[in-house]
Chains A and B, each alone.
Chain A
Amino acid sequence: MIRIRGLRKHLGTRQVLDGVDLDIAAGETVVVMGRSGTGKSVLLKHIIGLMKPDAGSIEVEGQEIVGMGERELDAVRRRFGMLFQSAALFDSLTVGENVGVGLREHQRLPEPEVRRRVAERLEWVGLSGVEAMKPGSLSGGMRKRVGLARAIAMDPQYILYDEPTTGLDPIMADAIDGLIRGMQQRLSVTSVVVTHDMTSAYKVADRMAMLHDGKIVFTGTPDEVRATTHPMVRQFVAGSSTGPIRPL
């Protein structure tokens, strides 16, 4: 369970997060939606301790992570996997080394076991036999899938997805959505997905939350989102430039 209360963060002169309150229950997939630049990725980076808030609280299984030192945070981070928007694969390593980097650094497993786990995770994301390839030679969709294989390599309890379908064609986006649902069923993980892709959001979400002006302005199930009369949510879901959310 992740519990966020009153999270505030300013970057430069802009108040990006202005009192975010959000609960993510164990085993559920919560999609945080909102316009580009509303602070969705900033929120994710706070959950895993990559950014420090100006104020507020983030509890992971009852453990307050705001104010923790790097060493304590590392213990929390080992329970997480994160898929970055750009996949953030290490260019100097092969695909196999990318997926196995956490296993080699933390788990001190015998090399054959590391290779077996790497091959297994790559197979789960539909990329068997690409261990020797370099990230530079992969397509956008393949990079995301390798990033996902790396995120799940250490059997995390939580997976954070930062814009998992951005920049992908609709067929590949659907495949990634399938993988996100598949991971939840296979590993029983708790997932937080930030996206502005509503097609993807409806497919993967158990619950959806809308971030606007630094606050969560709405939470509900996908059916509740479809049925809501909340003007901001309706405008966002409809993709309309007229309404309470100003386009510029």
Chain B
Amino acid sequence: MEDFLPARGVRFVRRRAFDWVAEVGRVTLMLRDVVRFLIPGLRSFGRLVQQMNAIGVGSLWLVVVVSLFTGAVAAVQAAYQFTAVVPMRYLGSVILRSVIIELGPVLTALVIGGRVGASIAAELGTMKVTEQIDALRAMAIHPVRYLVVPRVVAAVIMLPIITIFSDAIAIFGGYVVAITSIGVSSHTYTQSLKDFFLMKDLWSGLIKSFFFGGIIGTMGCFHGFATEGGAEGVGLATTHAVVASCVLVLISDYVLANVLFRFIFAA
């Protein structure tokens, strides 16, 4: 006899919940190994630099394009909403604060999460299905030490650096639009930036991007290591890594915003 539909639904939800808890457990165990092998994993400085180059320098042009247009759109949108309500001399400050607190860190993390998360998951997933991870273990080389530590640390270091770069480009994008199509003078825009710049805003964005880097590196490695099967498995791992990175970046953005602006930078 066919199962009663609600009972099947409950079983499905319960199974999904168990799977999710198990996955959180496995990620936690991997992070424990990252901490355990942090120092030995960084002994090979060359591997760290190689990953920093792949994550940071390799993503530069993508970040430039995304940031430039983000700043430009922010200027157009802000100008539209300011019309007849707020003087245009505040345009620079609105772009500045929205970029360094929110848009810069989050959009950079989403872009890098898509590009780097996918690339890490695909590389490690291919290594898993072609027995390269087993070959490392057979040589008594812990895969977390050799593969995960350099990638996670490189992501944690590079995300804040790229975010600073992204912030600058976005503010420049807003500047170009402000003086060419909105009619704000260069002096007004830059003066607005100077008047409303707060160091704690920059710090809050950088602290967030530090955590985002950890999330992207960890998700890429975790889903790469969890790959099963062949090419299809690698494709699935890549998709899971990108989706998990993006979702966790957005959730942690909310949590961090609460912690940073309600407690740490509340005054």
- Using CB atoms and an 8 Å cutoff, list the residues of chain A in contact with chain B: 45, 48, 50, 70, 73-75, 77-78, 80, 82, 84-86, 88-92, 101-102, 105-106, 150, 154
Contact = CB atoms under 8 A, between A and B. Distances in A.
Contacts of A86: 130-131
Interface residues of B, number: 15
B134 interface: yes
A50 B136 CA distance: 10
B141 interface: yes
Contacts, number: 52
Contact of A74 (B127, B135, B140): B140
A48 B138 CA distance: 7
Nearest to A93: B132
Contacts of B203: none
B131 A84 contact: yes
Which 5 pairs of residues, A with B, have the shortest CB-CB distance?
Answer: A74-B140, A88-B135, A88-B131, A77-B140, A82-B138
B139 interface: yes
Contacts of B135: 82, 84, 88-90
B69 interface: no
Given A86-B131, A88-B131, A88-B132, A50 B138 contact: yes
Contacts of B134: 45, 50, 84, 88
Nearest to A98: B135
B125 to A, nearest CB: 13
B146 interface: yes
B141 A102 contact: yes
A78 B132 contact: no
Interface of B: 123, 126-127, 130-132, 134-135, 137-142, 146
Contacts of B139: 77, 101-102, 105-106, 150, 154
A106 B132 contact: no
A155 B70 CA distance: 58
Given A50-B137, A77-B137, A91 B142 contact: no
Contacts of B126: 91
Contacts of B146: 105
Contacts of B142: 70, 74
Given A74-B142, A105-B146, A85 B137 contact: no
Nearest to B145: A105
A78 B135 CA distance: 12
Contacts of A88: 130-132, 134-135
B131 A91 contact: no
A80 B138 contact: yes
Contact of B141 (A50, A84, A101): A101
A45 B134 CA distance: 9
Contacts of A75: 140
Contacts of B131: 84-86, 88
6 contacts: A50-B138, A70-B142, A74-B142, A75-B140, A77-B140, A82-B135
Nearest to B138: A82
B119 to A, nearest CB: 12
Given A88-B131, A91-B127, 18 more contacts: A50-B134, A50-B137, A70-B142, A74-B140, A77-B137, A77-B138, A80-B138, A84-B138, A88-B135, A89-B132, A90-B132, A91-B132, A101-B139, A102-B140, A105-B141, A105-B146, A106-B141, A154-B139
Nearest to B146: A105
A92 B130 CA distance: 13
Contacts of A78: 140
A2 B121 CA distance: 37
Nearest to B133: A88
A14 B138 CA distance: 25
A80 B126 CA distance: 24
B62 to A, nearest CB: 22
A84 B137 CA distance: 12
A92 B124 CA distance: 11
A106 B40 CA distance: 12
Contacts of B127: 90-91
A87 to B, nearest CB: 9
Nearest to A105: B141
A14 to B, nearest CB: 16
